[in-house]
């Protein structure tokens, strides 16, 4: 098998899983915020999961800021690429920096 073929399939799989997990993390955090507002109780057994999802969301947010900053130099729209990178994570940054065609005026 070709290394590019394997890389493409792995990246696609990671992007799908990452999008599902980040969407789930947003839903979980929304549920937690709703519980705090309505004075409901969230099971304490979920606390480790809350910390993991908060770490993941923070990491993806930082990656999306980096992507938004560098997207114009790669001829991408910052908001679109930042949103894309937020959901797919590091793969989005790797794709952004792996582009072969870089405009010489941006260097």
pLDDT (0 to 100) of residue 6: 77
CA distance 107 to 57: 31
From the number of C-beta atoms within 10 Å of its C-beta (0-12, 13-18, 19+), residue 75 rates as exposed
CA distance 77 to 68: 8
* Token duo for residue 100: 């072969």
Q: What is the pLDDT of residues 17-42, one digit of tens each?
A: 999 999 999 999 999 999 999 999 98
Q: With contact defined as beta carbons under 8 Å apart, do 4 and 73 qualify?
A: no
Q: What is the pLDDT of residues 42-61, one digit of tens each?
A: 899 999 999 999 999 999 99
pTM above 0.75, yes or no: yes
């Amino acid at each position: 098998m070709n290394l590019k073929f394997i890389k493409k399939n792995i990246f696609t799989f990671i992007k799908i899983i990452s999008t599902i997990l980040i969407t789930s993390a947003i839903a979980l955090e929304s549920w937690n915020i709703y519980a705090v507002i309505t004075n409901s109780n969230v099971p304490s057994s979920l606390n480790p999961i809350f910390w993991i999802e908060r770490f993941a969301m923070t990491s993806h947010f930082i990656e999306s800021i980096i992507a938004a900053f560098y997207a114009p130099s790669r001829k991408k729209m910052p908001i679109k690429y930042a949103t894309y990178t937020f959901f797919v994570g590091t793969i989005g940054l790797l794709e952004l920096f792996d582009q072969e065609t870089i405009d010489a005026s941006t260097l």
